[in-house]
Amino acid sequence: MRLALAEAGRAGEAGDVPVGAVVLDAGGQVAGAGHNERELAADPTAHAEVVALRRAAARLGTWRLEGCTLVVTLEPCTMCAGAAVLARVDRVVYGAVDPKAGAVGSLWDVVRDRRLNHRPEVIAEVLAAECGALLTEFFTRRRVG
């Protein structure tokens, strides 16, 4: 999660919502990392998770990320939860809960939907306070500035 937090910091420095993600391979090595790049890329799909999943797939040479773990500082939205399912990651680990848009148990539960053909393990609220504080600070600065 500390690596994902470092990625989140990069997003915040670039003026984007500070969310970071890493994909670890089956051996625990970083296969891909990313942070929100929506503002930088003018791309609504450039969420941290999607960026990290794309980089991991490119590095590993396959879209099937079986054996991999997606670690992200904020509970994934529906798009990112769906991408994790479709990428076949073994587990999703996230920090802060997102009651407004979370799709890994908060608002929706895409990753545990029995109608889908793959359901990754979920480990929630890892370093949640630290992950949440980064977001709170970012939005507080935005409102004041």
Total Cβ atoms within 10 A of residue 111: 24
Structure tokens at 133: 């504080």
Task: Rounding to the nearest 10 degrees, give the CA dihedral for residues 131, 33, 50, 143.
Answer: 40
Tell me if 131 is assigned to a ligand binding site: no
pLDDT digits (tens, 9 = 90+) for 90-128: 999 999 999 999 999 999 999 999 999 999 999 999 999
Mean pLDDT of the region 24-41 = 97
* Residue 138, pLDDT score: 94
The answer on pLDDT for 144 being more than 80 is: no
* Residue 35, pLDDT score: 98
* Residue 143, pLDDT score: 82
Q: What gap in Å lies between CA 141 and CA 145, rounded to an integer?
A: 6
Element (H, E) at 31: strand 30-35
Between vectors from CA 125 to CA 84 and to CA 18, what angle results, nearest 5°?
70
- Could you tell me which residue, 10 or 142, shows the higher pLDDT? 10
The answer on pLDDT for 145 being more than 70 is: no
- Given the residues 7, 37, 49, 75, the one annotated as active site: 49
pLDDT digits (tens, 9 = 90+) for 43-82: 999 999 999 999 999 999 999 999 999 999 999 999 999 9
pTM of the model: 0.96
141 φ/ψ angles, rounded to the nearest 5 degrees = -65, -40
49 is catalytic: yes
Q: What gap in Å lies between CA 61 and CA 77, rounded to an integer?
A: 25
Residue type present at position 36: N
The answer on pLDDT for 88 being more than 90 is: yes
Between the two ends of the chain, the Cα-to-Cα distance in Å is 29
Q: What gap in Å lies between CA 116 and CA 127, rounded to an integer?
A: 29
70, β-bridge pairs: 23, 92
